[in-house]
Structure 1
Amino acid sequence: MKGQTVGFRLVSLNLNGIRSAATKGFREWAQAHAPDCMGVQEVKAQAPDVEGVFDHLGELRGHFHYAQKKGYSGVGLYTRHEPSDVKIGFGVPEFDDEGRWVELRFDKPGRQLSLISCYFPSGSSGEDRQQAKFRFLDAMAPHLAKLKKTREFILVGDVNIAHQEADLKNWKSNQKNSGFLPEERAWMTQLLGTGKGQGGLVDVYRRLHPTTTDECYTWWSNRGQAYAKNVGWRLDYHLATPALAEHAKAAAIYKDQKFSDHAPLTIDYGFKL
């Protein structure tokens, strides 16, 4: 997956701090990899930190949603195509204050299409944050359902949920831990279901690689040599409406360099903006 592809190349990467990731070469990799669009999460910076330094990656222009709290959360979308509109936040103040949603719209007559970078909360730091995560999921499901009624879209980001047993190494010992709780997994199942009242979205990586296990991980703990031993989780997704998911051609998780505790997830699609 080197260089520009025919069609549309879309990347998702949790940076765990844009300044930190930059020191590890993510900007050079992104320019060499030549995506059409790159969603980033956990920017952990404010506008003055980004402007003139990280607001462009070569030909890609960045659009950002910053958290009010310094050094926390924040998402961005880099694109080589000029959007027709930019949406910051998804209308829920509790989470919009945390900088978790940026949506670029690329509308033409007869076509309404959005690309979204989203960072779902983690509940691993304690019960208060887990309850916030549940509130986020409760708000996100109807928002995506409403969006799907009027637009085609691909949401990329760190969802902080491993959906199935194949999506993490130690699934048996993590069934009571945030990220693999039964309620979180059920939310994902509902989102991806095709029955009446279900979300009807597509987990694009799993569409392309339905049975992959150890190769699918995108996040590793910094403890216990998890990365070296590949004791990982699949937390980063492309979630697409079915019409766009049908265009997915190839997926790759880049592990030759380590820019953060997450790996970039790239999917090539057979459409053009």
Structure 2
Amino acid sequence: MSAVVARLAGVPASVRIASVNVNGIRAAVRKGMIEWLAGADVDVMALQEVRANADELAAALPGWHIVGNEAEAKGRAGVAIAARIAPADVRTALGDGGTDAAGRWIEADYEFGGERLTVVSAYVHTGEAGTPRQAAKYAFLDAMEERMPRLQAHAPLSLIMGDLNVGHTQRDIRNWKGNVKNAGFLPRERAYFDRFVGQAGMPVNTADGATGTGLGWVDVGRQAHGDVDGPYTWWSMRGRAFDNDTGWRIDYHLATPDLAARASGYSVVRAPSWDTRWSDHAPVVADYRVGA
């Protein structure tokens, strides 16, 4: 029973929230996403790389309340949030410049049992070391870091999810030694995450050798699994990366402390086999006690 249905029946329940880079929503639906959803009991989904406009999203996910931020370049990027209920408010502004219109950030407020839950779907640039693509990635992460305290002030129960395209620590990439100079595992990228999850207001020694200030958000996946390798959320479609579990953990649930304390049941829904995948990313799912 979903949280929405349960509350309509007068039964307190957690809100089940998923995040997944669908690698094209229409392709994901053709390959089996709807069949997965039928049994997933999800209430809210943060979607990245949807590569679709509003009409195409509605056709792909009938019955859902969907809000999106479409990329200016047709067939590229795009983020959306799909929920069983309509949001109370939606925002796509993140920072100055082209970030707002890039199809990479959307916030939505939902009301559950008298409590406000704010959900973000984010798609951070892949980047490429030493190129303008990497500069765009840093600009996005700068804007994200500036937004996070304001978001927490707006809603103490806030959750940023998505394909954030950074492996925070060596535990997050199977072949980390071979990627120390590559986008996704650069020290400066990882330093952002050191600050994101560092103790709020306290000095944090970061991966790039600098000292920053912690924001106090919680990596719910790491909170759930502890100091272990993975579990990975993305595997290359090439070679035997999926079969050998040579993956990256780059899809996150980053929660405010108040919300992280209410999290349970975090899981990475890894497909049973390479040929049953409907995206190169796995859904990341957790339950949050909101309004119960």
Per the normalisation by structure 2, the TM-score is 0.85
d(CA) in 2 for partners of 1:17, 1:154? 23
d(CA) in 2 for partners of 1:77, 1:100? 12
2:288 is matched with which residue? 269
Aligned residues: 267
1:19 is matched with which residue? 26
Q: Which amino acid aligns with 1:253?
A: V
d(CA) in 2 for partners of 1:30, 1:86? 24
d(CA) in 1 for partners of 2:250, 2:113? 35
Q: Which amino acid aligns with 2:91?
A: K
Contact 1:65–1:89 at 8 Å: present in 2 too?
no
1:171 is matched with which residue? 176
d(CA) in 2 for partners of 1:240, 1:205? 10
Deviation at 1:61, TM superposition (A): 1.6
1:10 is matched with which residue? 17
Contact 1:17–1:42 at 8 Å: present in 2 too?
yes
Q: Which moved more, 1:15-24 or 1:140-149?
A: 140-149
d(CA) in 1 for partners of 2:28, 2:112? 35
Q: Which amino acid aligns with 1:154?
A: L
1:227 is matched with which residue? 242
Kindly indicate whether residue 168 of structure 2 is the aligned counterpart of residue 141 of structure 1.
no
Q: Which amino acid aligns with 2:289?
A: G
Matches within 5 A, 1:81-230: 81-106=85-110, 111-124=115-128, 127-152=131-156, 153-196=158-201, 197-214=213-230, 216-230=231-245
Kindly indicate whether residue 255 of structure 2 is the aligned counterpart of residue 249 of structure 1.
no
| Unpaired runs of at least 5, structure 1 | none
Distance 1:106 1:48, change over 3 A: closer
Deviation at 1:173, TM superposition (A): 1.1
Between the two proteins, what is the percent identity of the paired residues?
39
> 1:37-87: per-residue Cα shift (whole Å, max 9, x none)?
011100012234334x1253x4x3211110011000001111112221111
Contact 2:128–2:134 at 8 Å: present in 1 too?
yes
Contact 2:69–2:106 at 8 Å: present in 1 too?
yes
Distance 1:77 1:108, change over 3 A: closer
Distance 1:109 1:249, change over 3 A: closer
Deviation at 1:145, TM superposition (A): 1.7
Give me the CA root mean square deviation. 2.1
Distance 1:28 1:89, change over 3 A: farther
| Unpaired runs of at least 5, structure 2 | 4-12, 202-212
Deviation at 1:185, TM superposition (A): 0.6
Contact 1:89–1:99 at 8 Å: present in 2 too?
no
**Correspondent of 2:52 among 45, 65, 69:** 45
Deviation at 1:244, TM superposition (A): 0.4
Distance 1:221 1:65, change over 3 A: same
Distance 1:83 1:48, change over 3 A: closer
